[in-house]
Structure 1
C-alpha cells in the first residue's frame, strides 16, 4: 500500500526511474534572461563548444587502462566490461560529492526520459515494494492493467515465467514494462485466493497525469502539481481554465511532495501570475555570473489571491514556483520548510553516444531576491504541521507484534492507532498493556479476532484505515489553513 503523497514511502511508477527525482533540468530552455553581473552571454546555458575541456594526459589514460586490465584479467571472478566501465564513470561523478550528478546506463536513461516526457510503454500500474513483494498500489485510469481487472494490493509473483523474487523494485519494473503491443503474462497473488492467478496484459502507451484540480469550495480552486514534466504546462493551463469556468475567485497551488522536473516548465506555469519584467528565478554559473529569468507575459496577469502548499518533500522546480509566487506575486506559502535543492542539472545524452546519460549539476538557482536555498529550504509564511500519522512508515509485517516487544514497527503502529482514535497513550515503540488494549479495541471495532496482538491481517487493516483517513481532505490541516486564509482574503 501507499499513503498517497503524504507518507514517507518510496514508490515507483512503471516507466519511472528514481534518479529523476529531485532533479531540475535545463532542457529546451528559452525564457528571456537579464544579465545580473558584468558581461553577457548568448544564452543561459553555455554551448558544448564553450565549455572548458581539461583533457586527460597519456599518463592518465595509461593509469586508467592499467586499472581496467587488472580488474578485467586478475579479479577473482570475471567482471563484465560494461560493468567496469560504468563503475568508472559513476566513480568520477561520485568524486564531485554531488548526489544529483549521476550516470545512467542506456536502459536507465530511457526510463529517465520516459519520466521527463510523462509518457511510456507498459501496463499502467503504480508499484510498491512491500515486505520484499512487488505490490500494485494503484492503476492508471483506462490503462491495460485496469482493463484486465488487476487490483490494488495484487502481488506480482512473475512476469512471462520469470520470478520477481529477489529483484529490486527497479529491476522488477524493467521486466514488467515493455514495447506497445507485447504481452506481459503476470502471475499474481490476491487476497482471498489460495493459488496464484495468471493474467495476460497487452502493453500500451501510457500517459501519466502530472496535474490535477478540483474546486474545494464554491470560489476556491486547488491545483496539485506532482512533477514538472514535458506535459505539465498544457495540463496546468487546461486545469486552470477549467477552474476559472467554474467560478474560481482564488487559487491553491499544491506542490507538496513534488520532487521537481523541467526548469522551463515551471517558468511557463508561473509566468501567468507574475507582472511582465519581474524576476521568476536567477541562475548562477561556476564563475559567479548571474542571469535572471523574467516574466514576458503577453496577456493580462491573473491577480486573484494564491496560496502555495509546501512541505519537506517540495524540491527543486517546486521550490522555484513557491519562491517566485511568494517574492514576485505576493502569494503566501503554507505548510513546512521545503527540501532545499538549489542546483540545476543538464543531461548529456548526445555526448555519451551509446544511449547512456550523464546528468550533471551545472548551475545554482536563486530566488528572485537572490537567496540560495540549497540545504536550507524555503520557510512558509504560515507554518502548519500535519498530524503525526501523516508521516508514519509502512509496517514491515516481519513478525506478529505483541506484549513486551519494542521496535520501530510498534512505534509507527501506535501513532496510527492514536490517529484512528484507539490511543495506546504512548508512541515510543514499547508494546505495553495499554497497547494490547488499543489493538484489541481496534480489532473488535473492525470485526477481527480480538487478541490484542498485531498479526499481518491486523497491521494491514490498521494501514488501510489510516490511509483512508489521510486521503480524506477534512484531515489535511495545511489545506484547511489555506482555505481559511483565502476565505478571509478579499479577491481583487
Structure 2
C-alpha cells in the first residue's frame, strides 16, 4: 500500500527538523525509537499531520463500508489544492497527470472540449477542438455544462466532469448545456473518439492573402507555424491572417516562439510572481515582414491572449473580432515520485504595455460580432463569416498602403 509506512516515514523526516539554536520555544515530541525536539511552528505542523492520520484511521476502521486508504489520501491532497478556490491549481493522481500531459503532447480519447471553471462556479466551454466530436455535435464556446450523463456538475467538480467526458473511443456520453439566448437546456449525445491534436492549418486565399489557423499551442505548434509561414511566403502572399478564435491556449514557451517569429525586437510578455519578481520574454530582430491581421473571440484564452496582446501592444498587427476570454494566470507542474502531480498558479502574466487581462480579456482593435444565426452554425461558411470578411478587408487596406 502506497501510504502504509507514512507514520514511520514521518518520524524519520522529523529528525531533520532538529535545530541547533533557539528561535522560539521548543517542544519535545516522543516518537518510536526516541524523541525529537521541534520548534513551535514545526509542532503545529506535526499536530495537523497527526490529525490527518487520525481521520484516516477512524474512516478505515469505522466507516460503514471498506475504505481504500489511498483514496482518502488522494482526497486530502485534492482538498488542499481546492481550498485555494483557484480552478487552475489542482492535485492529480498518476492517471490524471498522465491524461493531462497527453492532452498537450499527443492524442487521447474523449469528445474534444476545452473547459474552465468561471467566476460564478460554472463549467464553461472555452472552445471545442476543431474537428472534434463535440464540435461536430454542435457544442459552442461559452456554453455552460450543467450535467454529464444526467449527473449535475459544477466548477468545483471540474476534474471529475472532465474525467466523465473522457472514455474509450466509440462509447457514448451525454453532455447537457445551457446557452445564452436559448430558454431550455440542450443535450448532446456524443460518441467519443481519438482527439488528434493537429493544431495548425493554412491556405492561400484570393488576392494573395495567407490564412493560418492555430487551434491550440502544443509542443509542435511553433514548428508547424514556422513551416506554414515558409510555405505561404513561397506562394508569394502579400499579407497574413492568423485565426486565434476558440484557441484555448497551451504551452507558454511555444507561444513565445511564435511571437518571436512575428514581432520585431521588443517585449513579448512578462510575468510577475507573489514577490513582485518579473521575468521578461523578448523577441529578436527577425519579424514576419508582412501586413498582419489577427482574429480573436471569447474562446481565445491564455497563450492566445499572450500572442494577440503582444501583437497589439507592439503595433505588429490589427486585432479583429470580439473580446478574448481573460485568463492571465501562469501555472507550473510538479511531478511526485509516485507519478502523481500538482498543477499550481505561480504568477500573472502581463502584455508588453503592462495590461493585466485576468478576468478582463483583450479588446480587439476592430469589434465585429458574428450574427446570432451564424454563431449557432457548426461549420460557418466563409461568405457568412463577418469577422473573417472584415479581417480580409482590413488586410487588403494594409497591403494596398505598402
Q: Indicate whether the TM-score tops 0.5.
A: yes
Q: Is the 8 A contact 1:126 1:139 kept in 2?
A: no
Distance of aligned partners of 1:327 and 1:471 in 2 relative to their CA distance in 1, 3 Å threshold = same
Q: Which residue of 2 aligns with 1:41?
A: none
Q: How does 1:278-289 map to 2 (within 5 A)?
A: 278-289=266-277
Q: Relative to 1, partners in 2 of residues 1:174 and 1:355: Cα closer, same or farther, differing over 3 Å?
A: farther
Instruction: Classify 1:140/1:87 alpha carbon distance in 2 versus 1 (closer, same or farther; 3 Å).
Output: same
1:57 to 37, 45, 55: 45
Partner residue, 2:168 = 175
Give, in whole Å, the separation in 2 of the partners of 1:99 and 1:169. 13
TM-score by length of 2: 0.69
Give 1:374's aligned residue: 358
Match of 1:99 among 87, 91, 98: 87
**Equivalent-residue separation in structure 2 for 1:187 and 1:275 (angstroms):** 48
Aligned to 2:348: 364
Task: Tell me if the contact between 1:345 and 1:361 (Cα under 8 Å) persists in the aligned partners.
Answer: yes
Distance 2:382 2:107 in 1: 31
Q: Say if 1:273 and 1:175 are closer, same or farther in 2 by CA, change over 3 A.
A: closer
Instruction: Choose the corresponding residue for 1:120, options 104, 107, 118.
Output: 107
Higher relative contact order (CA closer than 8 Å, sequence separation 6+): 1
Change (3 A) 1:251 1:88: same
Q: Aligned to 1:337, which of 323, 326, 331?
A: 323
Is the strand fraction higher in 1 or 2?
2
Q: 1:319 aligns with which of 305, 325, 328?
A: 305
Following the alignment from structure 2 to structure 1, what is the Cα–Cα distance between the partners of residues 129 and 45? 53
Q: How many Å apart are 1:215 and its aligned residue?
A: 1.8
Match of 1:82 among 66, 70, 87: 70
- Mapped contact 1:109–1:355 kept (Cα < 8 A): yes
Q: Is the partner of 2:270 in helix, strand or coil?
A: strand
Considering only aligned residues, what root-mean-square deviation do their CA atoms show, in Å? 3.0
Match of residue 252, structure 1, among 241, 244, 251:
241
Which residues of structure 1 form unaligned runs of 5+?
Answer: 1-53, 129-136, 142-151, 154-163, 177-185, 189-202, 393-465
Q: Give the gaps of 5 or more residues in structure 2.
A: 1-40, 114-127, 138-147, 152-160, 173-192
Contact 2:239–2:399 (8 Å) recurs in 1:
no
Q: 1:239 aligns with which of 202, 224, 228?
A: 228
For normalisation by structure 1, the TM-score amounts to: 0.57
The reply to whether residue 210 of structure 1 matches residue 194 of structure 2 is no
CA contact (8 A) 1:222 1:251 kept: yes
Which segment is superposed worse, 223-232 or 164-173? Answer: 164-173
User: 2:28 maps to what in 1?
Assistant: none
Contact 2:245 2:300 in 1 (8 A): yes
Equivalence for 1:301: 287
Separation (CA, whole Å) in 1 of partners of 2:98 and 2:82 = 22
CA distance, structure 2, for counterparts of residue 138 and residue 337 of structure 1: 20
Residue 490 in structure 1 maps to residue 399 in structure 2: yes
SS in 1 for 2:399: coil
Selected match of 1:221 from 197, 210, 217: 210
Q: Give 1:121 shift.
A: 6.6
Q: Distance in 2 between matches of 1:489 and 1:313?
A: 26
